[in-house]
């Protein structure tokens, strides 16, 4: 018997794992991310993410700039949702300096945030589909069409398509122009139709279901323990949205729901994003109805000098909780600014999500987390 | 210029395949350039090659950090001649707003030769297309046995 | 008419071999143009339109450029294999056309008695070139691509052949020309399930659309041809589209009645072309719409879904042949009314039994 | 019904139907060199427009620039004023955030509307005083200058199905 | 609305379980001895009524005389938050790692090590996160130029 068993182990097909370096330049690492993947055939045995290929030292640069001059830097963090980053930063500075923002300014911010959320989720879903291998990018291009419409609106209010530099401490840099509201109204009216179209293209697609269901599961406990946030956390079944849990701006005046997933797999993350788009449209509708008149920005001195102290302000960006920990020493520049990165922390559990799956699933799972390297590496 | 060179340049002009490499924010505008609204495929650039071996044009789109610099140099070296480089956006041109940072390369031209600089942060898709058209003009003037 | 060489076999061979090479090269260019233009309306854009009107010379520009690009052989590559691989990949594609009837009885050897067997045998060879390329490049990505393509080829050859068998059963011949001649009713009407299986298997065979695992851009960068540049890469590009052309031609011959069509008998070639384009359009359409399958799903789909379905299709067709095969004057129309519902029911039932999913492998890191 | 047919390939057919419908939709492409989008009135173009008459040489713009990109050199003038000798912008480094324009107390600085500013040489991107100087033919953006807004054309919007105008 | 717990009250609770760990207390934050960070973290996470299951943010700051590590904690169960701080000297910048309590601390501690040079004792993989091996100095220190 003994000889038999030893024979059978000898007969077992031994494969040797090998290391595959994905990135820093890889078509679907969403920038310059690198994963050192240990593969056994196509199966992932181990994964180690390597960061820093886009580390630009934003936190250090912020120490040399005035509070206003930091805003353009925040644009370049989560470059798919710059408005939300602006908002997170100005909110923490307002908290630090105790500044009250006029109501109209708050509403404009909310509208921009929600438009940004729709646009960012469109991109997240589009690139996710890309990572799943829509080889000629059709879903991405369809979603880019809607994103362009949103970018048109952003361009209308602040003149840029990607790096808006729109929000200011105390409000926004300029009130929305007259033609903005009709366009927004039209967009909100049309958008559900397009989302329905994406649903038709994707929701029941058997290949998509097979590729995403049950893949890259992030269990609820791990999601909380690993400080995940945003759609990644909610897909794991945690009803945690800072807009509800810790309402900022005027979010407590809107009626909306926080969609959650059940399992925490790639499919849930994708569904949560689609459902959040619907909720964003709801918020936009209400914000349009309640839109008040008045000033868009508080009157403030050109150079802020907040009192000595520190503040942590956070908002719910499309990727998750983004917070700015700002320390002031009563000078015109922040003494220390730390960015709480949503996507970097969402990546914490990446290894647990992909071990045992195929190479293709690594890419898909990674895509479903929706990161922007600007903010992961800062 | 010989007529052979003309034919060659015509081919290269209308078939400048870009390398699908995105470094940072500008990559989003680069994708937007390829999207339906601006459609860079009209210029025959629809094949965003994933492998540098098959690409002609390296659009450096975004901030280049010192950590990434060896990789970019390597990618450039891997591209087959003739090859061109567009520095897209302030970060690629000069480091942009991050120029004084400890980890950012102040200008991609310190690592690889650049043919066209497209300013903007990030440049609009039209601006990038304009840069590409300037590159086309440069390609058209190429001599037959030119080494660059 | 002694000077007309078609009476002489070798002269005939030379003329048609040349004609086929020219035809394939031209058609590949047209296909590349057609595909890139066809993506336009699918994606609400134009596609190439600068190089001459409608971008018609776009593939020419591509060809000129790519042929004069630097040829790079990686230092770690197996140089000879790396060199030969594109040729091995492209040659079988050309060879397939030897038995394709472009017009009634016209072609290199359109009435070769084992025509379709030859097509199956030859088209499978192309994969050797791909694997050689993947292996010899000395790149891990390309190796993964190469390994994938072997698995893919082995799994999808079986349903492909089985669906062809159903055609052969009905036509009663292996010769391509006679299969066309037998199609009083185009076979895709007669055997919708067979056609569907053939189309899917062919899509996998030519590595396009949702089955382009071997060059999966988003996963393994460019797959097997990641280290190829210049002319050798062009050969692979050519082979890819040439294979698509070949499979479209074979599908048009087997299921759409090749050169048959209403109108003057001299326009048979045009009918053939039209059908080829229609099938290629289907391939483009699938490619535009679907995300890629995962490698284990691909195998599962091939073996657990397509293979049993193809087998059942063969049984159904064979049974029909036994019962009604003796009737003179070709196939009766009403078989369609059996086969179409049978196809739907079979697909539905089998999709109940077959489920994707799972795929996690326990590993101890 | 839907649940019964789930997983039987119907989803794939639906997807194909959706892409097929797009074959008959209008193409949204702006054919750029011939056809151009009208930009937003507040567009932050890739240059500055500097009004010499209004500028007092206070250098507030230079101070408000996040990366110290505006170089301004002044000398004492004849009367109680300053003459701007050098006003230079490195548009290769500028991120066009508009903070300089916002901070200008005399409305002497504007953002341009141009974006076709690529160059073959890095040095060409450094814009000196003469290139930035305001002339009536230069279009100025209404960013932070709401007074200019009525005089500018309406922005092209994709949502209105507009793909821009042929040849300005 | 997330309730910010009163520092003094929480500090009292901490003081009972982990004696002599609290150095200084204010309305919004609690400063603990660096050696006690791990025990305090475990206490905060596992005590019913506090349940700080979510590490929102971990960062550090250089105040020239000392380095400060800041833990911003949230409880998803009760929706309240507290700020925990620990100070270490520049000569011996060591703080125990809290990765075993909250896995979310993993990258944030590596980042703080990378940019500020605070060593987190007990971290399973304390390497530079963003900068490359061989980079001299820690950029976010105030004396780094």
* CA-to-CA separations, E70 to A200, A376, C301, E95, in angstroms, rounded: 47, 20, 53, 11
Residue A134 touches partner C, C-beta closer than 8 Å: yes
Higher-scoring residue by pLDDT: D1, D38 = D38
**Measured between alpha carbons, how far is D43 from D112 in angstroms, rounded to an integer?**
8
Tokens linked to D77: 């003038």
By C-alpha distance, the chain A residue nearest B91 is: A56
State whether C43 and A141 contact (CB < 8 Å): yes
* CA-to-CA separations, E71 to A214, B32, E54, E98, in angstroms, rounded: 34, 40, 11, 10
Q: Examine the pLDDT at C145 and tell me if it is beyond 50.
A: yes
The yes-or-no reply on E/C contact (3 CB pairs or more, < 8 Å) is: no
Q: Examine the pLDDT at C165 and tell me if it is beyond 70.
A: yes
**Measured between alpha carbons, how far is D159 from D162 in angstroms, rounded to an integer?**
7
Q: Which residue has the tokens 């594109």?
A: C86
Average pLDDT, chain E: 84
State whether E55 and A227 contact (CB < 8 Å): yes
A13 exposure class (CB count in 10 Å sphere: 0-12, 13-18, 19+): exposed
C348-355: long-range pairs with CB below 8 Å, 24+:
C348/D5, C348/D8, C350/C305, C350/C308, C350/C309, C351/C305, C351/D7, C351/D8, C351/D9, C352/D7, C352/D8, C354/C300, C354/C304, C354/C305, C355/D7
A237-246: long-range pairs with CB below 8 Å, 24+:
A237/A261, A237/A262, A237/A263, A237/A264, A238/E76, A240/E76, A241/A316, A242/A314, A242/A315, A242/A316, A242/A321, A243/A316, A245/E2, A245/E76, A245/E79, A246/A314, A246/E1, A246/E2, A246/E79
- Whether ipTM > 0.95 holds is no
pLDDT tens digits, one per residue of C315-363? 888 887 777 765 555 566 777 777 788 778 887 777 777 766 666 666 6
Per-residue DSSP letters for A138-162? HHHHHHHHHHHHHHHHHHHHHS-SS
- To the nearest whole Å, the CA of A210 is away from the closest chain C CA by 5
Selecting from A246, A312, A377 the residue whose C-beta is nearest the C-beta of E72 gives A312
Which residues of chain D make contact with B99, given a CB cutoff of 8 A?
67, 93
Is C4 domain-assigned? Answer: no
Q: What percent of chain A has pLDDT over 70?
A: 96
**Measured between alpha carbons, how far is B23 from A25 in angstroms, rounded to an integer?**
8
Looking at A182-191, C6-15, C131-140, which range is the least confident one?
Answer: C6-15
* Beta-strand pair E80-89/E94-96: unpaired
pLDDT tens digits, one per residue of A50-95? 888 888 888 888 888 888 888 888 888 888 888 888 888 988 888 8
Output the pLDDT for position C101. Answer: 79
With residue D166 as reference, give the H or E element that holds it. Answer: strand D165-166
Output the pLDDT for position B38. Answer: 86
By C-alpha distance, the chain B residue nearest C74 is: B78
D56 exposure class (CB count in 10 Å sphere: 0-12, 13-18, 19+): middle
The DSSP symbol for C305 reads I
Instruction: Please answer whether residues C108 and C96 qualify as being in contact, where contact means their C-beta atoms are separated by less than 8 angstroms.
Output: no
Q: E3-121, superfamily in CATH?
A: NADH:ubiquinone oxidoreductase Nqo5 subunit (3.30.460.80)
Q: What is the mean predicted confidence (pLDDT) over B65-89?
A: 87
Output the pLDDT for position A13. Answer: 64
Is C36 domain-assigned? Answer: no
CATH of the domain spanning A59-376: 1.10.645.10
- To the nearest whole Å, the CA of D23 is away from the closest chain C CA by 5
State whether E139 and B67 contact (CB < 8 Å): no
Is C10 domain-assigned? Answer: no
State whether A302 and D103 contact (CB < 8 Å): yes
In chain C, which residue ranges form alpha helices assigned H by DSSP? Answer: 9-42, 58-67, 79-96, 115-123, 126-136, 140-171, 176-181, 187-190, 192-205, 217-220, 230-255, 268-289, 295-300, 307-324, 335-353
B→C interface, C-beta within 8 Å: 7-8, 10-16, 36-37, 39, 41-44, 46, 49-51, 53-54, 56, 78, 80-82
The yes-or-no reply on D/E contact (3 CB pairs or more, < 8 Å) is: no
Residue A59 touches partner E, C-beta closer than 8 Å: yes
Interface B:D, Cβ pairs < 8 A? 99
- To the nearest whole Å, the CA of A131 is away from the closest chain C CA by 5
Q: For residue A339, what are the contacts with CB-CB under 8 A and spacing of at least 6? A: A58, A59, A77, A322, A323, A324, A325, A375, A378
**Measured between alpha carbons, how far is C309 from C323 in angstroms, rounded to an integer?**
21
Instruction: Please answer whether residues C231 and C67 qualify as being in contact, where contact means their C-beta atoms are separated by less than 8 angstroms.
Output: yes
In chain B, which residue ranges form alpha helices assigned H by DSSP? Answer: 3-14, 25-34, 69-78, 89-94, 125-140
CB atoms within 10 A of CB A135: 20
Instruction: Please answer whether residues C190 and C166 qualify as being in contact, where contact means their C-beta atoms are separated by less than 8 angstroms.
Output: no
State whether D8 and C347 contact (CB < 8 Å): yes
Per-residue DSSP letters for E42-65? HHHHHSTTT---EEEEEEEEE-SS
* CA-to-CA separations, A168 to A163, A301, A305, in angstroms, rounded: 14, 12, 15
State whether D120 and B94 contact (CB < 8 Å): no
Looking at A121-125, C332-336, C360-364, D55-59, which range is the least confident one?
Answer: C360-364
Banded model confidence at residue C365, pLDDT cuts 50, 70, 90:
very low
- Residue ranges of the domains in chain E? 3-121
**Measured between alpha carbons, how far is A59 from A74 in angstroms, rounded to an integer?**
10
Q: Examine the pLDDT at A292 and tell me if it is beyond 80.
A: yes
**Measured between alpha carbons, how far is C137 from C147 in angstroms, rounded to an integer?**
13
Output the pLDDT for position A2. Answer: 41
3-state secondary structure D91-107: CCCCCCCCHHHHHCCCC
Neighbours of chain C (3+ CB pairs under 8 A): A, B, D
Q: What is the mean predicted confidence (pLDDT) over D134-144?
A: 83
Number of domains forming the structure of chain C = 1
Output the pLDDT for position B147. Answer: 62
Selecting from A32, A73, A145 the residue whose C-beta is nearest the C-beta of B36 gives A145
Higher-scoring residue by pLDDT: C312, C352 = C312
How many CA atoms are closer than 13 Å to the CA of C337, on its beta-carbon side? 3
Tell which residue, B8, B30, B20, has the closest CA to residue B82.
B8
The DSSP symbol for E119 reads E
pLDDT tens digits, one per residue of B109-133? 888 888 899 888 888 888 888 998 8
Q: Examine the pLDDT at A307 and tell me if it is beyond 80.
A: yes
Tokens linked to E119: 């060593």
pLDDT tens digits, one per residue of C28-37? 888 888 888 8
State whether B118 and D94 contact (CB < 8 Å): no
SS3 call for B93: helix
Backbone dihedral region for residue A320 (phi beyond 0: left; psi -120 to 50: alpha; all else: beta): left
Q: For residue A9, what are the contacts with CB-CB under 8 A and spacing of at least 6? A: none
**CA–centroid distance for A163 within its chain:** 15
- To the nearest whole Å, the CA of B7 is away from the closest chain C CA by 8
Q: Examine the pLDDT at C62 and tell me if it is beyond 80.
A: yes
Residue E132 touches partner B, C-beta closer than 8 Å: yes
What would be the CATH architecture of the domain defined by D48-152? 2-Layer Sandwich (3.30)
Residue B100 touches partner A, C-beta closer than 8 Å: yes
| Mutation for E interface: A338, A339, A376, most E CBs within 10 A | A338
Is C83 domain-assigned? Answer: yes
* Beta-strand pair E54-62/E29-32: unpaired
Q: For residue C363, what are the contacts with CB-CB under 8 A and spacing of at least 6? A: A40, A43, A44, A45, A355, A356
Q: What is the mean predicted confidence (pLDDT) over A291-320?
A: 85
Which residues of chain C make contact with D24, given a CB cutoff of 8 A?
41
Across-strand partners of C144? none
Output the pLDDT for position A21. Answer: 83
Tell which residue, D59, D28, D66, D61, has the closest CA to residue D164.
D28
Residue A138 touches partner C, C-beta closer than 8 Å: yes
Looking at A182-186, C207-211, C258-262, which range is the least confident one?
Answer: C258-262
Average pLDDT, chain C: 81
Looking at A9-13, A109-113, D83-87, D110-114, which range is the least confident one?
Answer: A9-13
SS3 call for A39: strand
Instruction: Please give the residue range of the domain that contains residue C193.
Output: 57-353
Across-strand partners of B116? B86
With residue E120 as reference, give the H or E element that holds it. Answer: strand E119-121
Output the pLDDT for position C2. Answer: 47
**Measured between alpha carbons, how far is C38 from D39 in angstroms, rounded to an integer?**
30
Give the E window 73-112 contacts with A, CB below 8 Å.
76, 79, 83, 102-108, 111
C→B interface, C-beta within 8 Å: 36, 39-40, 43-51, 55, 57-58, 60-66, 68-72, 217, 221-222, 225-230, 233
Across-strand partners of B117? B87, D119
**Measured between alpha carbons, how far is A28 from D74 in angstroms, rounded to an integer?**
51
The DSSP symbol for B42 reads G
Looking at A168-182, C312-326, D116-130, which range is the least confident one?
Answer: C312-326
Residue B63 touches partner A, C-beta closer than 8 Å: yes
**Measured between alpha carbons, how far is A349 from A226 in angstroms, rounded to an integer?**
6
Tokens linked to C252: 């048009």
Q: Examine the pLDDT at D81 and tell me if it is beyond 50.
A: yes
pLDDT tens digits, one per residue of A268-288? 888 899 899 899 999 988 988
Q: Examine the pLDDT at B148 and tell me if it is beyond 70.
A: no
Q: What is the mean predicted confidence (pLDDT) over D94-100?
A: 86
Instruction: Please answer whether residues A50 and A93 qualify as being in contact, where contact means their C-beta atoms are separated by less than 8 angstroms.
Output: no
Banded model confidence at residue B55, pLDDT cuts 50, 70, 90:
confident
Output the pLDDT for position C4. Answer: 52
Give the E window 15-34 contacts with A, CB below 8 Å.
none
Instruction: Please answer whether residues C202 and C112 qualify as being in contact, where contact means their C-beta atoms are separated by less than 8 angstroms.
Output: no
**Measured between alpha carbons, how far is D72 from A50 in angstroms, rounded to an integer?**
43
């Amino acid at each position: 018997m003994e000889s038999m068993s030893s024979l059978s182990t000898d007969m077992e097909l031994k494969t040797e794992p090998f290391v595959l370096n994905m990135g820093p330049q890889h078509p679907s690492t969403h920038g310059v991310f690198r994963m050192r993947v240990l593969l056994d055939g196509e199966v992932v045995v181990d994964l180690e993410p390597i960061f820093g290929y886009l580390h630009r030292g934003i936190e250090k640069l912020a120490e040399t700039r005035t509070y206003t001059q930091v805003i353009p830097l925040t644009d370049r963090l989560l470059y798919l949702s710059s408005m939300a980053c602006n908002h997170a930063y100005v909110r923490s500075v307002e908290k630090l300096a105790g500044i009250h923002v006029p109501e109209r300014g708050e509403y404009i911010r909310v509208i921009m945030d929600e438009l940004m959320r729709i646009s960012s989720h469109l991109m997240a879903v589009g690139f996710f589909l890309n990572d799943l291998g829509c080889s000629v990018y059709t879903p991405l291009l369809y979603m880019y069409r809607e994103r362009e419409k949103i970018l048109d609106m952003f361009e209308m209010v602040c003149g840029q398509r990607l790096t808006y530099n729109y929000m200011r401490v105390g409000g926004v840099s300029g009130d929305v122009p007259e033609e903005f509201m009709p366009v927004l109204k039209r967009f909100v009216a049309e958008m559900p139709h397009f989302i329905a179209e994406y649903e038709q293209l994707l929701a029941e697609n058997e290949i998509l279901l097979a590729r995403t269901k049950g893949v890259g599961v992030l269990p609820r406990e791990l999601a909380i323990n690993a400080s995940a946030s945003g759609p990644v956390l909610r897909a794991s079944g945690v009803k945690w949205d800072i807009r509800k849990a810790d309402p900022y701006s005027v979010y407590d005046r809107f009626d909306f729901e926080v969609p959650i997933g059940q399992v925490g797999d790639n499919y849930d993350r994708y569904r949560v994003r689609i459902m959040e788009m619907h909720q964003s449209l709801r918020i936009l509708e209400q914000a349009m109805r309640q839109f008040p008149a008045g000033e868009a920005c508080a009157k403030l001195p050109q150079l802020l000098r907040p009192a000595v102290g520190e503040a942590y302000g956070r908002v719910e960006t499309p990727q998750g909780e983004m917070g700015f920990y700002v320390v002031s020493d009563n000078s015109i520049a922040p003494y220390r600014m730390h960015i709480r990165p949503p996507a970097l922390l969402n990546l914490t559990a990446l290894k647990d999500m992909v071990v045992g799956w195929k190479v293709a699933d690594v890419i898909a799972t990674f895509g479903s987390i929706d990161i922007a390297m600007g903010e992961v590496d800062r | 210029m010989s007529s052979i060179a003309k034919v060659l340049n015509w081919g290269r002009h209308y078939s400048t395949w870009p390398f699908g490499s995105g470094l940072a924010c500008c990559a989003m505008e680069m994708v937007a350039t390829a999207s339906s609204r601006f459609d860079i495929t009209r210029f025959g650039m629809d094949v965003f090659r994933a492998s540098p071996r098959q690409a002609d044009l390296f659009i450096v789109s975004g901030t280049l950090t010192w950590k990434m610099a060896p990789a970019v140099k390597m990618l450039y070296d891997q591209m087959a001649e003739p090859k061109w480089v567009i520095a897209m956006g302030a970060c690629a041109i000069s480091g942009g707003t991050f120029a004084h940072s400890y980890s950012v390369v102040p200008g991609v031209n310190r690592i690889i030769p650049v043919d066209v600089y497209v300013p903007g942060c990030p440049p609009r898709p039209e601006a990038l297309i304009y840069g590409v058209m300037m590159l086309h003009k440069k390609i058209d003037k190429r001599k037959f046995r030119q080494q660059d | 008419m002694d000077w007309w060489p078609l009476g002489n076999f070798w002269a005939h061979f030379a003329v048609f071999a040349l004609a086929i090479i020219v035809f394939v090269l031209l058609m590949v260019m047209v296909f590349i143009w057609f595909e890139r233009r066809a993506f336009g309306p699918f994606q609400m854009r134009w596609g190439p339109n600068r190089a001459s009107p409608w971008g018609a010379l776009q593939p020419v520009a591509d060809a000129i450029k790519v042929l004069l690009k630097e040829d790079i052989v990686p230092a770690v590559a197996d140089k000879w294999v790396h060199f030969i691989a594109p040729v091995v990949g492209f040659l079988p594609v050309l060879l397939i056309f030897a038995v394709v009837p472009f017009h009634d009885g016209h072609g290199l050897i359109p009435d070769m008695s084992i025509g379709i067997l030859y097509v199956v045998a030859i088209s499978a060879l192309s994969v050797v070139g791909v694997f050689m390329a993947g292996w010899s490049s000395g790149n891990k990505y390309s190796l993964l691509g190469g390994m994938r393509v072997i698995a893919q080829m082995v799994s999808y050859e079986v349903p492909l052949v089985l669906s062809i068998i159903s055609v052969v059963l009905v036509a009663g011949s292996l010769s391509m020309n006679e299969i066309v001649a037998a199609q009083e009713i185009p076979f895709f009407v007669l055997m919708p399930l067979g056609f569907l299986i053939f189309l899917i298997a062919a899509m996998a065979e030519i590595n396009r659309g949702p089955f382009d695992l071997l060059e999966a851009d988003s996963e393994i960068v460019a797959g097997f041809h990641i280290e190829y540049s210049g002319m050798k890469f062009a050969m692979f590009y050519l082979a890819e589209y040439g294979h698509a052309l070949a499979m479209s031609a074979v599908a048009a011959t087997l299921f759409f009645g090749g050169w048959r069509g209403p109108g003057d008998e001299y326009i048979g070639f045009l009918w053939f072309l039209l059908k080829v384009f229609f099938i290629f359009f289907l391939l483009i359409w699938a490619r535009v719409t679907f995300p890629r399958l995962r490698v284990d799903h691909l195998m599962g789909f091939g073996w657990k879904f397509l293979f049993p379905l193809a087998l059942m299709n063969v049984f159904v067709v064979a049974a029909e042949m036994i019962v009604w095969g003796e009737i003179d004057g070709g196939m009766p129309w009403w078989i369609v009314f059996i086969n179409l519902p049978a196809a739907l029911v079979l697909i539905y039932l089998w999709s109940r039994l077959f489920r994707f999913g799972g795929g996690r492998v326990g590993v101890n890191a | 019904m839907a649940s019964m047919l789930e997983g039987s390939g119907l989803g794939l057919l639906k997807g194909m139907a959706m892409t097929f419908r797009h074959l008959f939709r209008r193409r949204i492409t702006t054919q750029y060199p011939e056809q151009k989008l009208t930009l937003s009135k507040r567009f932050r173009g890739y240059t500055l427009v500097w009004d010499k008459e209004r500028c007092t040489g206070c250098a507030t713009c230079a101070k408000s620039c996040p990366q110290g990109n505006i170089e301004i050199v002044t000398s004492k003038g004849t009367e109680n004023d300053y003459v701007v000798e050098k006003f230079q912008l490195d548009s290769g480094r500028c991120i066009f955030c508009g903070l300089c324009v916002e901070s200008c107390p005399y409305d002497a600085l504007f953002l341009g509307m141009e974006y076709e500013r690529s160059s073959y040489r890095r040095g060409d991107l450094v814009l000196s005083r003469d290139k930035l100087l305001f002339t009536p033919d230069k279009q100025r953006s209404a960013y932070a200058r709401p007074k200019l807004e009525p005089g500018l054309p309406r922005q092209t919007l994709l949502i209105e199905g507009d793909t821009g105008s042929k040849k300005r | 609305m997330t309730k910010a717990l009163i520092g003094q009250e929480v500090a009292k609770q901490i003081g009972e379980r982990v004696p002599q760990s609290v150095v200084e207390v204010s309305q919004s934050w609690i400063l603990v001895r660096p050696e006690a960070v791990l025990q305090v973290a475990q206490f905060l996470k596992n005590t019913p009524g506090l349940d700080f299951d979510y590490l929102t943010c971990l960062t550090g700051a250089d105040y020239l005389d000392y380095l400060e590590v800041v833990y911003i904690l949230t409880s998803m169960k009760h929706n309240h938050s507290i700020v925990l701080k620990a100070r270490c000297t520049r000569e011996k910048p060591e703080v125990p790692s809290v990765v075993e309590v909250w896995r979310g601390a993993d990258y944030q501690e590596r980042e703080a090590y990378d940019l500020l040079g605070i060593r987190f004792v007990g971290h399973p993989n304390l390497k530079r996160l963003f900068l490359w091996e061989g980079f001299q100095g820690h950029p976010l220190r105030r004396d780094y130029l």
